[in-house]
Every structure is written in structure tokens, then in C-alpha cells.
Chains A and B, each alone.
Chain A
Amino acid sequence: MDSELSPQDKKDLDKFIKFFALKTVQVIVQARLGEKICTRSSSSPTGSDWFNLGIKDIPEVTHEAKKALAGQLPGIGRSMCVEISLKTSEGDSMELETWCLEMNEKCDKDIKVSYTVYNRLSVLLKSLLAITRVTPAYKLSRKQGHDYVILYRIYFGEVQLSGLGEGFQTVRVGVVGTPIGTVTLSCAYRTNLAFMSNRQFERSAPIMGIIVDHFVDPPCSSQRPANMGQPCNYRAPDEEDGGQFAGVQDSQEVCNTSFSTSPPSQCVCTLSPSPSKLSKPLPLDSLQLPLAPGLVTHTVLHTGKEGGVVLVPAQPPQGADTHLTVEHAPNTPGSSFLSGEDDGLSQSGEGRRDDRRSVSPSDPVESLNAFTRKVGAFVNKPNTQMTIASLDLPFAAFAPRGLDTEENDPMVHPPESPPCLSPLQGSLHSEGSEGSGPQDDFVMVDFRPAFSKDDLLPMDLGTFYREFQNPPQLASLSLHISSQSMADDLDSLPEKLAVYEKNIDEFDAFVDMLQ
């Protein structure tokens, strides 16, 4: 004795599911923008807040969601999925999680549509808000910027989880039973953050981007207050026209739901289409073109493992993918950074999750040191012979000439020093460092760091410490010697007095001169 759903109920249910799907997409995408979300409570119902929740509508996201749905609704065998992936500045990408809105056959015929189902869908959206902040991709999305960006893709149909790698976890957000099936919302997220190479990764469908540019001003922006965040970039690979979306053209249906406190069967629910009411323009909905290639050269300081400060020049790669290859300076003690190395991302991903103590991984640091000059204490000589040109230094044209090879490097083989004029000057110009010669623009100081291979006393710190830990006492400080000298002094005293008495006139004249 199945009671058929009334036409009004069926219509309402379809509408609820449609707007639930759209709001689900909004919540997920907004949670991955990299910013904190804030909406206001309002005691008087505005009529446009579906499920009585303050969830803003980003028009582009709604547009993409409607495009993916193509007039259909999530149903049995037809799931709506939002895929979140990460793309680095070098073009490598990785799927992070897939949110699935599915429907199964288990029906709850007795449930009241425009009362219980509506309220339960509202609770499910709240759960989604909470869970989107808990999965690992949230922390990654909060830190997106120049090194990587977070992208989303909406698709409809079969759920595809193969891109999440091995050992992915699933978390169920919740279920709501309806007379036509049970709505299920879940998330499958990647746990293995080892980086996949570009070749293994093949995408068949375009990926739309959310790019938040922190350090580049859009061409026509005025000063933005610091707490407003940066405009969200929408980028579709097919259509980089950068045009504004005028908002959804079809009539925005407004939810005017009122509930009855009388017995539930008398539920009054009116859903009236009203003239399309666009949501207020958000700081997030302006569209920007992607970054222009070869924009800015950044020089980033990071503390090398050996303790010196190492300058790492970086230039953006030329090409269509326009992300800067910049390693951001670690801002928490021991935080690892993303580098171009294969293991860089896995270390950073794992580093954030498991081991914040890890100092910068040794491989990237060693390879970086190969590029640098000997500027720090305890630094090894570089193994490879690098020319100035291949070092890719900024302002390379201004580097001193004739210093390409080690034979000519004055820091390794210093030229003859000029003759020393004073002991002090001699110590400053030890081993023949060059003063400011006519052809040099700067003074080169011969730097012989202590305990290095070129030191005067080549030994390592430990040996030095052990050897000189217990030095013998100074001879002049021993009592025997001091007492002997005292005796000598006393003996010579009368002679000295005689000499002073002889020269007493000289002393008086000296005293008069002083007065």
C-alpha cells in the first residue's frame, strides 16, 4: 500500500534536491578558496536563503554546477561529484578529494517532504560545512598561493575515485531519506601525498581553477583592505575570455518556506518563483586573467642547513603555465617547503601532517648549494664548476669578469698582497687579499673561515677543542718565576735610585712643563 507522492510534494522534493546540490557545491568550493568564510545570521527570513542557512552563491560556481547537471537531478546511478585537486606552479597536478552526492534506492515513504526532509537537508549542509574544514585538503587550500593552487571540477554520472591514489579514506557526511530514495553525501580523500609525475597524470576533462593571487595586483584594482582577501580567479582552459558572468539567466527560484505548527499533515509550503534576485556582488566574483608569463623575479632567503644564509634566485619559467617558481620562506620553525624536486611535495605534505620538526630536506639544499658561491662558514667547496651565465643570477652582467673558473677565482687563489705598512694592516690583508684595485668595484676580503680546509691550522673543531682543553699554565704566572723576578727587582733598586737622583733636574723641568 504505497502512498504515491503527491504532485506538489514531488515538485517540492525535486526543487529541494536541486538546490541542495547547488548549495553543496557552493559550500565545498568556498571551503577550498583558501580564505575564512563568514556569513551573517538574520532573524528575519529573506526568502533567498535556502535551507535557512547563510550560504553565499558565487555565480560562476552555480553556473558550472548547472552546466554539469544539465537539467538533470542527482538520482540513482547519477551522482554529482565535486573533485578537488592541487596544481603546482610547474604544472603537476594531483587529485586531493572527491565529494559525492548520491542517491540510493532505499526510500522512506512516510517522511514528510516539505518539513522533515527540508530540515534534515539543512542539517546535512551544516555537517558539510563542518566536515569541509576537517579533511586534509582544507589545510592545503588555506596555504595555496604562488607555489600551488587548488582547482575544482564538477561532473555528473559515475563516481571516479581512481585518481586518489592508494589507501584513500572515505568519510560520510550524512544521509537523508526521502520518498524517492536516500540522499547520501560523502567525501573520499587522498592520504598518500607522494607526488605523481606529470606524465602519469592524464586528464580528459577541463579543470576549472580557483586561483588566489596574493602578491600580484590585478590591473585595475584599487587598494584593498587587508582583510578582504584577493579576488578569486576563474579560469576555464577553453574560454580564457575573462568575461564577467552576468549571473544566472533563468529565473532564480526563491524559497519561501513556511511551516505549520498544526499537525504535520497540514504543512504549508510555498515555493514561488520570483523575479530573479541576484545575490549581492561579492569580492570573490570578479574575473581576472591568468598571470602574465615572466612577470617578476623573486629572490628568496632561506636558512640553509649549514647555518649560513643562502640566497636563492628564482626566475619564472617561460611558457603558457604562468606560475612563479618561488619557494616561499618558511614562516614556522622547521616547516618544509615545496621545491621542484620529486620528493619535495611528499616531504612537505608529510611534513605538515607528521613532522613539523623536519628541517629543509637535504637534497634540495645540497643542489642549491651547488649554485652558490662560498659565502658562509662551514661551507663545502662546490663540486661542479658553474659559470656565471649558467647560474642564472639576477644582474649577472654586473658580476666581476674572469671569475668563471676556479683557477681565476680570487677567493680560492687570492692574488699577491701589497707590502704591509703596519702590523694591523697586515692582519687585515692576510694571505694577500686584494684591496680595492683600480679595476675592481668592490673590496674582496680573503675569507679564511676557521676550521675550514684552507685554515692556517687545518683541523676540525672537535680535535681543536680536545687538544686545547687543558693548556699548560703560563710560565710567567708560576710562583717560582715571579718570586725570582721580585728578588731581582729589589736588588737592582739602589742602582736605579742613583740614576734617578743624577737626572733630578730633568725630572723637575718635565714637571714644570706639565704645569
Chain B
Amino acid sequence: MNCRSEVLEVTVEARQVEEAMLALLHTILLHRSTGKFHYKKEGTYSIGTVGTLDIDCDFIDFTFVRVSSEELDRMIRKAVSEFKEALSNSGSDGIGQISLEFYQKKKSRWPFSDECIPWEVWSIKVNVVNLANEQERQICREKVGEKLGEKVINVVEVINRHEYLPKMPTQSEVDNVFDTSLKDVQPYLYKITYQITDCLGTSVSTTMRRLIKDTLAL
């Protein structure tokens, strides 16, 4: 099975990085999260309810919808702020890329560790620009808002192709497909990684893997 890969590219000011990333990552996760599964006897299950929340951006003329889950929001924010810090430490002309990867776990026999097989990867390339004056910043607010709107439409377009999704798992297999650690929602298993390149195009810090959710924790 091939992993589906989508790339989104945005150009933002330094102070807009965080909100732009949150907007896109949350939009993707909204579509890739379900309610909590409750398994019953006879092999059936029911699904909890996913609430939604409108978030207004402060530095961008944009509002996005995210899943109503503080836990999930905290985890995404943590990853995004690490990315933002790495981006700002790399220098003013930094170009970075943050990736949201959805994967399935495949149990292997001992001594081999479980395999993580990605089935969908979203890569968001970020170009950070510096603006000279307030007028340009005001224009940037609107332009970035429009661009993010276009990216949301792209995301929705890809998702509504209804291409491969992991099969709904049995109770014993649910942790191989979904992240069941959150108490109110259940996103597909995902990990967020990022990569920073400086203006010369070389990798300043080699790919840093930050595993937000990893049961193996090696």
C-alpha cells in the first residue's frame, strides 16, 4: 500500500508561523479524528461525539475550526512551538517544513519492534519573510489569510477523495490504528516531525524526530 503524500506551502511572517501551522494541522486533524469508540458485546461499537470550536487568529485575518479537545490542542501547540523556535533559531531566512504523518502499527514478533507504516503524510513548507513596515504587515495579514483559506480548500479536496483509510479495527487492534490516549476524541495515530534548512539549503539540524505519541518510547 502506498503512502499518500500531500505538500502545502505557505509564506508567512515570523509571528504568523504558529497560527498558520495550527490552522492547517487542526484542519487536517478535524477530518482525521473520530469520537471515542465504545466496544460492546457482539463485536459492535458505538462512537462518541466530536465537538468543534472556532479559533480566530490574532496575526492573520483567518478563523479556523478545530476539534474541541484541550488535550489534543496542547499536544499540537507543543509541537508547533518547538518548530517555531527551531525556525527562529536557524536565522532570518529560514525555510522549514513540518510534517503530520498518519500511520498504522503492525505488530511484529519479538525481538523485532512494531512497525509504523505511514498511510498519509501532510508536509507543510514554511517560508519566513521579514517585512519592513506596518503597511506591509497589514497587507500580509490579509494575504496570508486568503492563502490559508486556499490551503484549507486543498486539504478538504484531498480528504474528500475518500482514498485509503485504515479498516475499522477490532477492540484488540484499536491501538494500532487510533490514538486512544485522549479522553474525549480519537484521532488516527499520528506523529509530527519537522526539518529546518537555512538559506544555503543545507540541513542545519538534521531531521529531529519528536514523537508526540509513541507507546514504545525508545
Q: How many residues of B contact A (CB 8 A)?
A: 51
Closest Cβ of chain A to B157, distance in Å, is: 7
Q: Inside 8 A of A115's CB, which chain B residues have their CB?
A: 168
Among residues of B, the one whose C-beta sits closest to the C-beta of A138 is: B63
Among residues of B, the one whose C-beta sits closest to the C-beta of A261 is: B170
Quick one: CB contact mask for B44-75 with A, threshold 8 Å, 1 for yes?
11111111111010000101110111000000
Q: Inside 8 A of B35's CB, which chain A residues have their CB?
A: 41-43, 45, 52
B144 on the A face (CB < 8 A): no
Beta-carbon contacts under 8 Å, A247-264 to B: 256-262
Closest Cβ of chain B to A131, distance in Å, is: 6
Contact status A134-B30, CB under 8 Å: no
**C-alpha gap A256/B46 in the complex (Å):** 8
Beta-carbon contacts under 8 Å, B165-218 to A: 168-171, 183-185
A444 on the B face (CB < 8 A): no
Quick one: CB contact mask for A375-418 with B, threshold 8 Å, 1 for yes?
00000000000000000000000000000000000000000000
- Stretch from A31-39, A144-152, A193-201 that touches the partner: A31-39
Residue among B31, B35, B38, B52 with the most chain A CB within 10 A? B52
- Stretch from A98-106, A166-174, A302-310, A477-485 that touches the partner: A166-174
Q: Inside 8 A of A333's CB, which chain B residues have their CB?
A: 138
Beta-carbon contacts under 8 Å, A83-105 to B: none
Contact status A173-B68, CB under 8 Å: no
A129 on the B face (CB < 8 A): yes
Q: Inside 8 A of A124's CB, which chain B residues have their CB?
A: 160
A126 on the B face (CB < 8 A): yes
**C-alpha gap A40/B49 in the complex (Å):** 8
Contact status B48-A37, CB under 8 Å: no
Q: Inside 8 A of A177's CB, which chain B residues have their CB?
A: 162
Q: Inside 8 A of A130's CB, which chain B residues have their CB?
A: 27, 30-31, 64-65, 152, 155-156
Q: Inside 8 A of A176's CB, which chain B residues have their CB?
A: 162
**C-alpha gap A135/B185 in the complex (Å):** 28
Q: Inside 8 A of A38's CB, which chain B residues have their CB?
A: 51-54, 68
A39-B51, A175-B160 known; A353-B142 Cβ under 8 A: yes
Among residues of A, the one whose C-beta sits closest to the C-beta of B148 is: A134
A138-B63, A257-B46 known; A174-B184 Cβ under 8 A: no
Among residues of B, the one whose C-beta sits closest to the C-beta of A115 is: B168
B40 on the A face (CB < 8 A): yes
B1 on the A face (CB < 8 A): no
B117 on the A face (CB < 8 A): no
Contact status A133-B156, CB under 8 Å: no
> What are 6 inter-chain pairs, A to B, with CB distance below 8 A?
A44-B48, A45-B35, A49-B49, A127-B31, A131-B153, A133-B64
**C-alpha gap A124/B34 in the complex (Å):** 13
A291 on the B face (CB < 8 A): no
What residues make up the interface of A, taking CB atoms closer than 8 Å to B? 36-46, 49, 52-54, 115, 120, 123-124, 126-127, 129-131, 133-135, 138-139, 142, 171-177, 256-262, 268, 333-334, 352-354, 356-357
**C-alpha gap A172/B68 in the complex (Å):** 25
Contact status B152-A134, CB under 8 Å: yes
A37-B52, A130-B30, A133-B54 known; A260-B44 Cβ under 8 A: yes
A123-B160, A174-B156 known; A54-B49 Cβ under 8 A: yes
User: Given A43, A171, A356, A357, which contacts B36 in the complex, CB threshold below 8 Å?
Assistant: A43
Closest Cβ of chain B to A11, distance in Å, is: 19
**C-alpha gap A135/B62 in the complex (Å):** 11
User: Given B36, B45, B50, which contacts A261 in the complex, CB threshold below 8 Å?
Assistant: B45
Q: Inside 8 A of A356's CB, which chain B residues have their CB?
A: 138-139, 141-142
Closest Cβ of chain B to A341, distance in Å, is: 23
B118 on the A face (CB < 8 A): no
Contact status A42-B44, CB under 8 Å: no
A41-B67, A41-B184 known; A129-B52 Cβ under 8 A: yes
Q: Inside 8 A of A40's CB, which chain B residues have their CB?
A: 51, 68
**C-alpha gap A152/B16 in the complex (Å):** 34
B111 on the A face (CB < 8 A): no
Closest Cβ of chain B to A305, distance in Å, is: 18
A129-B30, A259-B45 known; A139-B61 Cβ under 8 A: yes
B135 on the A face (CB < 8 A): yes
Closest Cβ of chain A to B35, distance in Å, is: 5
User: Given B42, B44, B142, B149, which contacts A134 in the complex, CB threshold below 8 Å?
Assistant: B149
Contact status B185-A123, CB under 8 Å: no
**C-alpha gap A43/B141 in the complex (Å):** 37
B159 on the A face (CB < 8 A): yes
Residue among A37, A43, A52, A177 with the most chain B CB within 10 A? A43
Contact status B49-A258, CB under 8 Å: no
Contact status B170-A133, CB under 8 Å: no
**C-alpha gap A176/B184 in the complex (Å):** 27
A36-B54, A131-B152, A131-B156 known; A52-B184 Cβ under 8 A: no
Q: Inside 8 A of A257's CB, which chain B residues have their CB?
A: 46-47
Q: Inside 8 A of B56's CB, which chain A residues have their CB?
A: 36
Contact status B184-A42, CB under 8 Å: yes
Closest Cβ of chain A to B143, distance in Å, is: 10
Contact status A262-B67, CB under 8 Å: no
Among residues of B, the one whose C-beta sits closest to the C-beta of A37 is: B54
User: Given A126, A256, A353, which contacts B30 in the complex, CB threshold below 8 Å?
Assistant: A126
Among residues of B, the one whose C-beta sits closest to the C-beta of A47 is: B46
**C-alpha gap A193/B172 in the complex (Å):** 56
Among residues of A, the one whose C-beta sits closest to the C-beta of B151 is: A134
**C-alpha gap A115/B162 in the complex (Å):** 14
Q: Inside 8 A of A49's CB, which chain B residues have their CB?
A: 49
Among residues of A, the one whose C-beta sits closest to the C-beta of B168 is: A261
Q: Inside 8 A of B168's CB, which chain A residues have their CB?
A: 115, 259, 261
A127-B160, A134-B153 known; A258-B44 Cβ under 8 A: yes
